[in-house]
Amino acid sequence: MVGDVVGRPGRHAMAALLPELRQRHGVDIVVANGENAAGGVGLTPTTAEEFFQAGVDIITSGNHIWHHKEIIPILETESRILRPLNMPPGVPGHGYMVTHQVMVVNLLGRVFLGHFDCPFRAMDHLLENIDHKPPVVLVDFHAEATAEKIALGWYLDGRVSAVLGTHTHVGTVDTRVLPQGTAFVSDVGMVGAADSVIGDDIELVIERFLTLMPHRLSVGKGNAIFNSVLVEVEQESGKALNISRLDLELSK
C-alpha cells in the first residue's frame, strides 16, 4: 500500500521507485491512494494512467476525488479506480473491487471531514452481502482522526486482512497485526516533496496560517519521500502475518 501520492513530485517518485520495490519484495498487488495526484488535489485520467504505468494495480481515493470533473465518468468505466464506498446512493463509481483473489475497499472517515454514510456500517453491509468474498480483504480508510482509524481497525479485526489509514500525509509508527489477524497502521504517509507541509509549498502554507486568507496552494519541490507499507497475508485464511513500513527518499 502506497501512501497519498501528491502532485508531480509524488508521481515521479512512484514511477522511479515502485517497479524495483515491487520486484525486490515479490509483491502480488499494489494499491496506491491517488486523490492528491493531479496538482496536489484530485485525480485525472492522465495522472491515473501514470499510476498504472508505474505498476499500481488499484487506485484508491478520498474526499478530493471529485475535484477534476473529467474523472467522474471514468469512475463508472474503470474498475481499478475506487471512490469511497460510504458515499450516498447514486454517486458515480465503485467503492470496492476484487482482483487477483483480493478485495480492496475504500472507506472515508467522518470526523473532521464531513457528512458521509457510516463507514463502520457500510463495511458491515458489504461483508454480509457480497457474493464470493475472497479471503484477503484490504481496506484503505481515508480519515483524519487517528481515533476513528484505530476504532475501525479493532472493529474489523479478524474480518479483514488489513486496515490501512491514509489522508494525513504523515506516516505513523503503529504498524501491528491485531489479535485476530488484521494488519493495521493509522496512516501510511505520502509520496511527495520531502521539504514541504504535507506535500505543499512551505511558504504558501505558512502564509495561509498567518493571514487566514484563502489562496491556492502549490505542490512542494525538491527531493521526494516515498511512504508505504508491506503487508504479508496468508492467502487461504486471509490472516495477516506481518506488516512493515517501507520508507524511501528520492533525490532530485
Nearest-angstrom CA–CA distance, 6 and 3: 9
Nearest-angstrom CA–CA distance, 121 and 110: 12
Nearest-angstrom CA–CA distance, 164 and 2: 10
What is the grid cell recorded at 154? 479493532
Exposed/middle/buried for 13, CB within 10 Å: 0-12, 13-18, 19+?
buried
What is the grid cell recorded at 103? 478485495
- Name the phi and psi angles at 246, rounded to 5: -125, 100
DSSP letter for 218, please.
-
64 counts as catalytic:
yes
Looking at 64, 68, 142, 167, which residue is catalytic? 64
Nearest-angstrom CA–CA distance, 95 and 83: 5
Q: Map grid coordinates 502554507 to a residue.
A: 205
Nearest-angstrom CA–CA distance, 44 and 59: 12
Q: Map grid coordinates 515502485 to a residue.
A: 18
Nearest-angstrom CA–CA distance, 228 and 13: 12
Asked if 22 and 55 touch (Cβ cutoff 8 Å), the reply is yes
* CA-atom Rg of the chain in angstroms: 17
**Active-site residue list:** 64
